[in-house]
Chain A
Amino acid sequence: NAGVTQTPKFRILKIGQSMTLQCAQDMNHNYMYWYRQDPGMGLKLIYYSVGAGITDKGEVPNGYNVSRSTTEDFPLRLELAAPSQTSVYFCASSPTMSANQPQHFGDGTRLSIL
């Protein structure tokens, strides 16, 4: 039972490079989320999706793009990496968007932009 799987676990990028963080879930959840966690801070919502083909911005969407072509996958793309995007990125999923059905998180991708 894999749950939410994120790849890669670690990555170092140079300023201006681009990359895609992968997220896949096997629980058939409609709702998926991307968060970032900076040191000493809580998780902040970047983007979320309520189903295949439907995405919306969260609290900190600038510099990121997402797509949701299938229920299982929700990749996050950084087009022009900047040092401010150095962070730990978490993907999560839930069956509904109601908070009383808690989100399930992946183990994160630690990204450094140098």
Chain B
Amino acid sequence: DQQVKQNSPSLSVQEGRISILNCDYTNSMFDYFLWYKKYPAEGPTFLISISSIKDKNEDGRFTVFLNKSAKHLSLHIVPSQPGDSAVYFCAASALQGSSNTGKLIFGQGTTLQVKP
């Protein structure tokens, strides 16, 4: 039972264009969402997050959008750079009130390749 799904295993975009990575979830108790970035042979590093009380959070070139009714979130990278090439994991958690409180549930990851 995959509670967090990233249905696109890979994405390739041209440098300077927009990258859009998608994530869907099934558990309505999730109220906090995070994106992690992972380079080969390294651990995941935190990129950006969003609380369910918001529908958008922006940090420089990175913006996360949350559509609670559709149980969908997306990560936009504009403009994309070759250094953004990595695996991106979506993760969800419940801040309070469920057995998942504080625990991160990860999606399968999407490999982004940004071509120069």
Contact = CB atoms under 8 A, between A and B. Distances in A.
Contact of B49 (A96, A100, A107): A100
Interface stretch (A12-20, A39-47, A73-81): A39-47
Contact of B32 (A45, A100, A103, A108): A100
A40 to B, nearest CB: 6
Interface of A: 4, 31, 40-45, 48, 58, 90, 92, 96-100, 102-108
Contact of B108 (A4, A42, A58, A97): A42
Interface of B: 4, 6, 9, 32, 34, 36, 41-46, 49, 51, 89, 91, 93-95, 101-109
Contacts, number: 63
A42 B107 contact: yes
A45 B104 contact: yes
Given A42-B108, A103-B46, A108-B43, A97 B101 contact: yes
26 contacts: A4-B43, A31-B102, A40-B9, A41-B108, A42-B4, A42-B6, A42-B91, A42-B109, A43-B106, A45-B103, A45-B104, A48-B103, A90-B44, A96-B102, A97-B103, A98-B95, A99-B32, A99-B34, A100-B51, A102-B34, A102-B46, A103-B46, A104-B46, A106-B43, A107-B41, A107-B42
A97 B103 CA distance: 7
Contact of B44 (A45, A48, A97, A105): A105
A99 B43 contact: no
